[in-house]
Chains A and B, each alone.
Chain A
């Protein structure tokens, strides 16, 4: 009789173990998926933020120099531009390209003369209505 009870008890423990183990496994998998998705979102969001900040800050600087009129000059420094960021000016917009995101911002003057690549510091000048961007 005792041996039979022991056998039943062992079987119950085994069933408990299976249920608990499978539940824990499910929770771990769900947690991992959420964490992985979250960190991926985090990197993407971070890249989108940086690209947006870079494109809009230099576009605002270009616009202010244009609005200030002939002879205006401004030394613009990116606060946190990484080496992976590529800034290009195309017609009426400034584009900022990063590994996981890109952003563009509008500028008021299409007559922009870019001398060399846009690095962390540039000088923006208004010369008779034309915008000239030179390395700083």
Chain B
């Protein structure tokens, strides 16, 4: 009888310990997963911010890269403005023209190798679209960052819609 009690006690104890250990493993894995997703999202946000800054606050490198007429290895950085937020239409034209053939190269120059990227220049009422570059997710994904910036196009204020997604 005494022996049976001991075996019963230990069986219960063993089950409890197993339960605790399994819960510990599951909780730890969940924490690691959440941290990883959160970290990836933060990295994506930072990349999106730098890409937007590069496009709308710098002329690129070399500054007058639009005179080459195309995008190649001699262009080390891409920017689309003359002054801060003031679009250079020639640069925009080249960017859009190279959309199909140089999409990956252009993304790399914006620090967005791991993601997809879309840029759209529209008027203030969002009725007229002036330029579109890249790919948009069309709201199908959770891991997407969409944002808008103001800029000047031919002396008129415009909205620049950007989306960084995938990854």
A residues whose Cβ falls under 8 Å from a Cβ of B: 12-13, 15-16, 19-20, 23, 26-27, 30-31, 34, 38, 41, 45, 52, 56, 60, 63, 66-67, 69, 91-93, 105-111, 129-130
Contact = CB atoms under 8 A, between A and B. Distances in A.
A27 B76 contact: no
A27 B17 contact: yes
B76 A106 contact: no
B47 A106 contact: yes
Dominant secondary structure of chain B at its interface with chain A? helix
Interface residues of B, number: 36
B119 to A, nearest CB: 15
B116 interface: no
Interface of B: 2-3, 6-7, 10-11, 14, 17-18, 21, 24-25, 28, 32, 39, 43, 46-47, 50-51, 53-54, 57-58, 61-63, 76-77, 108-114
Contacts of B39: 52
B10 A23 contact: yes
Could you say which of A34, A41, A60, A108 has the most chain B C-beta atoms within 10 Å of its C-beta?
A: A108
Given A34-B21, A106-B47, A111-B77, A13 B10 contact: no
A23 B50 CA distance: 57
B10 A20 contact: yes
Contacts of A30: 18, 21
B76 A111 contact: yes
Nearest to B5: A16
B6 A20 contact: yes
